[in-house]
Structure 1
Amino acid sequence: MQQDRLKNPHPWTYEIPLAIVLTLVLVAVLGVHTGRAVANLLAGGGWGWPPATELFRSLPGLWRGDAGAGLTNPGDLAEPGALRAWVLITQAVNLLVALVLSVVAYRRWGPGRLRGMASRSEAASLLGLPRMRKHRAVIRPDLYGKAAR
């Protein structure tokens, strides 16, 4: 019965992988700017965020170590070493969060998921314990049915 539900008629196309790749690229770019903002904040320059038009254009300057790339009024800037350290820290946190979310998504929507089955807590809250015990032969005929005895 479970095998019948595993066959999915929808083909895999490019939309889902493309959306995942674009999301990861956007998270990486925002992580670079967040690392720069934290580095500048700790250097005394305040939290600085570039305009939306400069999000991608300022990346080469940030990679070279320019903490003011793309900012309109940078103020005090972080040193290149501190900038690189904070960018690496924020990217490591982004990677960790992405991995955790990937594992959660794989378990929830991946190929090994169990379709159409309620968890124990869902079944208990919907049916109630007395009703589940009364109708256990119908709910789990493999354990409590006439053939199981």
Structure 2
Amino acid sequence: MAVLLAGLFIFLSTPLVVQGIVAWTTSGDFALPNGHFLDAYGGLLHGHFGAGLRRGAADALPQDPVMWVLTVVGEVLTLGASVVVGMWMRELTGANSRHGLATPTQAAEALGVPRLRNSAEVIRPDLYARSGRRGRGGSK
């Protein structure tokens, strides 16, 4: 759920960040719609950039089709970076992998086959439990 919310936040904030960067390159001032986010998103829903910005910063922006192309490029870059970070985090945490587990060959080399066979009921009680033994709770 947290990943979904973070992705939604990044997806929704990218047009405003692109708008701010383009305003910085054209007018020399990084411009975000401070306190006017609803106006800015309303303008974006109608296909217009610059809503919620100061007049000078909004006038310095390129035409809307250019801004939409830049926004799509920004979204693709953001998505690519998110995938790379996600794959890195998956590798780092070992999710869906066997980090820390030995293969059967490695276990046999480390402990020896006789010791593995003697300890099989402890290692894998679901497969090698001896029948007829009492459990911890008392009689059978």
Q: Same fold by TM (over 0.5)? A: yes
Q: Tell me the matched-pair count.
A: 108
1:57-109 per-position Cα deviation (integer Å, ceiling 9, x unaligned): 41231243422112134432221122112111111111001111221223324
Q: Tell me if the contact between 1:29 and 1:56 (Cα under 8 Å) persists in the aligned partners.
A: no
CA RMSD of aligned residues (A): 2.8
Q: Tell me if the contact between 2:40 and 2:49 (Cα under 8 Å) persists in the aligned partners.
A: no
Task: Tell me if 1:112 matches 2:97.
Answer: yes
Task: Tell me if 1:142 matches 2:108.
Answer: yes
Task: Tell me if 1:66 matches 2:51.
Answer: no
Q: Tell me if the contact between 2:16 and 2:32 (Cα under 8 Å) persists in the aligned partners.
A: yes
Q: 1:39 to 1:62 in 2, by over 3 A?
A: farther
Q: Which of 77, 100, 106 is the equivalent residue of 2:61?
A: 77
Return the index of the structure with the highest Cα Rg: 2
Q: Which of 8, 31, 40 is the equivalent residue of 1:48?
A: 31
Q: Percent identity?
A: 14
Q: Tell me if the contact between 2:50 and 2:61 (Cα under 8 Å) persists in the aligned partners.
A: yes
Q: Tell me if the contact between 1:39 and 1:82 (Cα under 8 Å) persists in the aligned partners.
A: no
With normalisation by structure 1, the TM-score equals 0.57
Structure 1 stretch 92-101 or stretch 73-82: which is displaced more?
Answer: 73-82
User: 1:80 is matched by which residue type in structure 2?
Assistant: D
1:25-45 per-position Cα deviation (integer Å, ceiling 9, x unaligned): 111122111111223334446
Q: Tell me if the contact between 1:67 and 1:78 (Cα under 8 Å) persists in the aligned partners.
A: no
Q: CA deviation at 1:113?
A: 4.3
SS at structure 2 position matched to 1:58: helix
Q: 1:25 to 1:74 in 2, by over 3 A?
A: farther
Task: Tell me if 1:29 matches 2:12.
Answer: yes
Q: Give unmatched runs, 5+ long, in structure 1.
A: 1-16, 118-139
Task: Tell me if 1:97 matches 2:81.
Answer: yes
- Say which structure, 1 or 2, has more relative contact order (CA 8 Å, 6+ apart): 1
With normalisation by structure 2, the TM-score equals 0.60
Q: CA deviation at 1:49?
A: 1.1
